[in-house]
């Protein structure tokens, strides 16, 4: 991907997955962007990467298009959190 992510920041990936996992519901795109604290261009690149990786998906919501975490995304989030705790320490979460 020319304008995509060659090496995504795992903390940013974890922020996306954590927000969707904790909420337990799909979120509107703008709402998710604000929750993960990224500017729009960076947010779009991460969202595209996450969809291509199968970690999140686009779903129809009552207010329009929303983003939801997939089962693979839940598993990946659990793995990331465990790795961060074991390797870097809980204070970095």
pLDDT at 92: 56
pLDDT at 1: 44
Per-residue pLDDT of the chain (93 residues; tens, 9 = 90+): 445 678 899 889 999 999 999 988 999 999 999 999 999 999 999 999 999 999 999 999 888 899 999 999 999 999 988 988 888 876 655
CA distance 19 to 2: 28
CA distance 15 to 36: 6
Q: Domain limits of the chain?
A: 10-88
Tell me the pTM: 0.84
State the CATH class of domain 10-88. mainly alpha
């Amino acid at each position: 991907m020319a304008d995509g992510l060659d090496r995504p920041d795992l903390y940013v990936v974890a922020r996306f997955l954590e927000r969707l996992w904790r909420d337990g519901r799909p979120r509107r795109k703008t709402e998710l962007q604000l929750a993960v604290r990224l500017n729009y261009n960076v947010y779009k690149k991460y969202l595209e990467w996450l969809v291509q990786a199968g970690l999140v998906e686009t779903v129809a919501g009552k207010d329009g298009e929303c983003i939801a975490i997939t089962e693979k995304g839940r598993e990946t989030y659990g793995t990331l959190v465990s790795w961060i705790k074991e390797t870097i320490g809980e204070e970095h979460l």
